[in-house]
Amino acid sequence: MALLHPMPRGGVRDKGQFDGKVHAFIGFDSDRTLPCNGYNKVGPITNIKAGEIVNVRFWGPALEEKYLDSLPPKPSGSRHQINQARHGGGLCQMSLSHDGGKTFRVIGQYSKSCPDFYYEWPVKIPDNAPSCTTRGQCLFVWSWTAVNVPQFYMNCADVTISSSDKEDLSPKGVQIVDVHGFKQHVTEPGDGAGDKMGKGPIQSEVNANTRGDFM
C-alpha cells in the first residue's frame, strides 16, 4: 500500500521517480530507506492551508487508473474486490515535517482498518501549522504499521503550507518499528478483513482527526 493523496514522492503520478516500488515496505530492498522510502528528490507538490481538512487516500498496483481521482465503488460481496495487499489493516499515522523528514509532528492517526482503497481518511492540518514553502523541506507524511506482517511503511508528499503562523510545531514523533535500529517484530491490531475491503474509518477517530485533537 502507498499514499495516493496527497501524491507522494515516487507515487504513480511522480513521472520523475515512479518505479513501481512506492508501495513496498522500508527495508524491502536496499533502496527502500527512511524517511521517504528512498525517494529523495522533490515530487509533485500539493498546496494546503493551515486548518484545512485533507482527505487522505491510498494506492496500490491493483487500483485502476480510472480511480485515481475518485473512490472505487464498494463491492456488494466478497467477489470482485480489489486485492489491496492491506495485510488486515493496522495503525496509520499522518504527520508533518518542516525539515525534510528529520523530525515529525503527528497530526492524526487511524487504527484497525487503515489503510484501505475504498475510503477517505480525513485529517486536519493544524490551525497553527507554520507557513512552509521551501522545496524539499515541507512534507506530509503517512506511515503504517501492519497487523499481519511485521513491516513498516512510510511515504512523503511534498507540500506547501499557507499560514499566517510562523512558530514551529513542537515535535511529536511517529512510531517507527520493524526497521533496522528500531524495535522489531511489532504489529498493530487490525480488522480481520485481510486484503479485502475493511470496515473503514472509526467514527470517533474521524471526529478526533478532523477536530485537530493532535494539535
The CATH number given to whatever domain includes residue 195 is: 2.70.50.70
Can you tell me the distance from the alpha carbon of 49 to that of 122, in angstroms, rounded to the nearest whole number?
Answer: 14
Can you tell me the distance from the alpha carbon of 95 to that of 214, in angstroms, rounded to the nearest whole number?
Answer: 10
Domain membership of residue 209 (yes or no) is no
Determine the structural domain holding residue 47 and report its residue range. Answer: 1-62+81-204
Report the share of the chain in percent with pLDDT over 70.
99
Q: Is 90 helix (H, G, I), strand (E, B) or coil?
A: strand
Kindly tell me if the per-residue pLDDT of 78 is higher than 70.
Answer: no
Domain membership of residue 75 (yes or no) is no
Question: How many domains does the chain divide into?
Answer: 1
The average pLDDT across 200-208 equals 97
Q: What's the predicted TM-score (pTM) here?
A: 0.95
CA–CA distances in Å: residue 7 to residues 55, 146, 193, 215: 12, 21, 26, 23
Domain membership of residue 92 (yes or no) is yes
Q: Which amino acid is at 215?
A: M
Q: What is the pLDDT of residue 93?
A: 97
Cell of 117: 482503497
Kindly tell me if the per-residue pLDDT of 167 is higher than 80.
Answer: no
Domain membership of residue 35 (yes or no) is yes
Q: What is the pLDDT of residue 173?
A: 86
Q: What is the pLDDT of residue 101?
A: 95
Cell of 202: 472509526
Kindly tell me if the per-residue pLDDT of 50 is higher than 80.
Answer: yes
Contact in structure between 47 and 162 (CB atoms under 8 Å): yes
Domain membership of residue 112 (yes or no) is yes
Domain membership of residue 52 (yes or no) is yes
CB-facing half-sphere around the CA of 84: CA atoms within 13 A = 27
**Torsion on CA atoms 52, 159, 110, 164, rounded to nearest 10:** -40
Domain membership of residue 164 (yes or no) is yes
Q: What is the pLDDT of residue 148?
A: 81
Domain membership of residue 210 (yes or no) is no
